[in-house]
Structure 1
Amino acid sequence: MGFPGTWMTESESLVYRVVPKCACSTIGQVMFYTDHGRFYDGDIHDAAEGLHKWAQEHSQPLIEANVRAHRSYAFTCVRNPYSRILSSFFDKICGIQRNGKRYRGNLVPQIIQKYGIEVGGPDGRDEFDQIRSFRRFLLFARDSIRWKKPMDPDIHWSSISGHVATFIVNGGRYDRIFFTERFEEGMASVLGQVETRHSLDLKTMPRFNESESHGPARAHPVEAYFDDLSMHLMWEIYRKDFQLFRYDFANPANRLPLGEVDLAEVHAKLGD
């Protein structure tokens, strides 16, 4: 299976397991900058040079050799499951993507029909009942993850622990897992462990939120979207994410983790 979703600097200073909707655009740009002294001009997900990616065939043997030998500092970044699934809804379901089309072709029309959600009209800009539509989307997300119906789960709402696990079960070891909610602190701790060709100021660098303008703005606080049934579904889908990464399941209003990630526990529980 190899190491899907893994990026590595060309200098092999850093190895990163991408977790969608967890600051991956900014992290990729940081990695690019540390090698080249500049940010990539465009969405880092589109970059076909300057950064090794598992999706690029020529990068695979280099990444595999590095990870199996644990030659570089390996890390990933996680996010509160409540805010992550909301971000996925507004970006991927309600938003128009950078190619000017809906995400995954017939995905949105299909769940509009089957689950009765609204997405804010043709361009995602019309007013609609965000809370009702999100809760119906969450039911779809549960169905796709648990039963792979009406389609296979998507990387943007499949569990964080599922993404993190593939790196471990195929022979990788993490040196650091930090929180999107404490990005500057976490990214600084990673960069402080390695020598890079170029240094950058995390405080003043731009944030590369490539999905920010795709969809409608969230109209309510996070906790407003989650009633008792929604929280039950969240526990059913993302129980491991809440437990392993120390997020507060009982209080959707608390975006911050309750403690640090225990790397030994993560490797033990996701390495089966």
Structure 2
Amino acid sequence: MPFPGTWMTESESMIYRVVPKCACSTIGQIMFYSDHGHYYDGDIHDATSGIHKWALDRSQPILERGVTARETYTFTCVRNPYSRVLSSFFDKICGIQRNGKRYRGNLVPMLTKRYGIEVEGDFDQIASFRRFLLFVRDTIRFRKPMDPDIHWSACSGHVSTLIRNGGRYNLIFPTERFNDGMKEVLANTQHAYDIDIDTMPRFNESEGHGPKRLHPVEDYFDDLSNHLMQEIYRRDFNLFKYAKEPYAGPPVREMDLDEIHAKLNG
């Protein structure tokens, strides 16, 4: 059974389902530190030792056993759809990646040609983002002109793979309440090294890749783009209890783990 995007500490103290653009770099570093007493030197996504990942062949049988046995504390983290898709735009579309190149090579030129998206110089951030959102809708609804990318595909899709293949989450928490969520994870797991969540550094590996966002989150969404958001991320809004109006805040109601498992197990 496949468990893509699943990480586990080498000590097998905790299992985490990675959801892109939802504090995954910081969470991975916390897991690494909890075993080794220091942070990974570099982007934790590049680590090939010191942590189990489904992408590493030698880790797969260990992860499969851990997930399906349901004895290891298992968690993930989600994010407000409005701020998450904006983050994807500024990082992956407007930004230069850590390899010095544009994300996915010819993606930005294609977006410029087909959708009129501008990312150079003093461009209109709001207009370009709204055109990007049309592209996101096309990838998710019609799988054209490409399949949806992991950075803007719905959180619920990432979360569901572990459930459908026999796993169960002990906790799903929002990035907007990150400290409380990670404290709950650490309070329910045993680890060799303690971490002070309130004072530890944050590992935002995408920070600085793209231009600074110039406007409040709400300004990027007009009636049409908000309608597209409901179409694209309906399940995220419903399951993770975010308000269906442009803002960057936390869920407006408590998540129901039983509901999430039931509805994502299909």
- Quickly name the TM-score band, shorter chain normalised: over 0.9
Matches within 5 A, 1:70-149: 70-119=70-119, 121=120, 126-149=121-144
Runs of 4+ in 1 over 2 A off after TM superposition: none
* 2:32 corresponds to 1:32: yes
Q: Mind listing any 5+ residue stretches in structure 1 that lack a counterpart?
A: none
Deviation at 1:256, TM superposition (A): 1.7
Of 214, 217, 222, the residue aligned with 2:212 is 217
Deviation at 1:253, TM superposition (A): 2.5
Q: Which residue is equivalent to 2:23?
A: 23
Q: Which residue is equivalent to 1:150?
A: 145
Letter of the structure 1 residue corresponding to residue 255 of structure 2: V
Of 236, 255, 258, the residue aligned with 1:261 is 255
Contact 1:111–1:117 (CA under 8 A) maintained in structure 2: yes
Q: Which residue is equivalent to 1:5?
A: 5
Q: Matched residues in 2 for 1:129 and 1:211: separation?
A: 21
Q: Matched residues in 2 for 1:76 and 1:256: separation?
A: 15
Contact 2:237–2:243 (CA under 8 A) maintained in structure 1: yes
**Which deviations, in whole Å up to 9, do the C-alpha atoms of 1:204-231 show, x marking residues without a partner?**
1000000011000000000000000000
**Which deviations, in whole Å up to 9, do the C-alpha atoms of 1:76-124 show, x marking residues without a partner?**
00000000000000000000000000001111111111000011x2xxx
| Helix, strand or coil at the partner of 2:172 | strand
| Helix, strand or coil at the partner of 1:177 | strand
Moved more, 23-32 or 101-110: 101-110
| 1:44/1:254 CA distance change after superposition, 3 Å | closer
| Helix, strand or coil at the partner of 1:15 | strand
| Helix, strand or coil at the partner of 1:199 | coil
Deviation at 1:260, TM superposition (A): 1.6
Q: Matched residues in 1 for 2:32 and 2:71: separation?
A: 19
Deviation at 1:254, TM superposition (A): 4.9
Letter of the structure 2 residue corresponding to residue 179 of structure 1: P
| Helix, strand or coil at the partner of 2:213 | coil
Q: Matched residues in 2 for 1:235 and 1:31: separation?
A: 34
Letter of the structure 2 residue corresponding to residue 194 of structure 1: T
Q: Matched residues in 2 for 1:66 and 1:73: separation?
A: 9
Q: Which residue is equivalent to 2:44?
A: 44
**Count of residues in correspondence between the two structures:** 266
Q: Matched residues in 2 for 1:185 and 1:259: separation?
A: 16
**Which deviations, in whole Å up to 9, do the C-alpha atoms of 1:177-229 show, x marking residues without a partner?**
00100100000001100110110111110000000110000000000000000
* 2:169 corresponds to 1:174: yes
| Helix, strand or coil at the partner of 1:128 | coil
Deviation at 1:132, TM superposition (A): 0.2
Letter of the structure 2 residue corresponding to residue 103 of structure 1: Y
Deviation at 1:71, TM superposition (A): 2.2
Q: Which residue is equivalent to 1:66?
A: 66
Contact 1:116–1:133 (CA under 8 A) maintained in structure 2: yes
Q: Matched residues in 2 for 1:253 and 1:72: separation?
A: 35
Contact 1:244–1:265 (CA under 8 A) maintained in structure 2: yes
Q: Matched residues in 2 for 1:86 and 1:199: separation?
A: 34
Q: Mind listing any 5+ residue stretches in structure 2 that lack a counterpart?
A: none
Letter of the structure 2 residue corresponding to residue 140 of structure 1: F
Q: Matched residues in 2 for 1:165 and 1:154: separation?
A: 16
Q: Which residue is equivalent to 1:228?
A: 223
Contact 1:248–1:254 (CA under 8 A) maintained in structure 2: no
Q: Matched residues in 2 for 1:47 and 1:112: separation?
A: 34
Deviation at 1:167, TM superposition (A): 0.7
Q: Matched residues in 2 for 1:216 and 1:116: separation?
A: 18
Letter of the structure 1 residue corresponding to residue 133 of structure 2: L
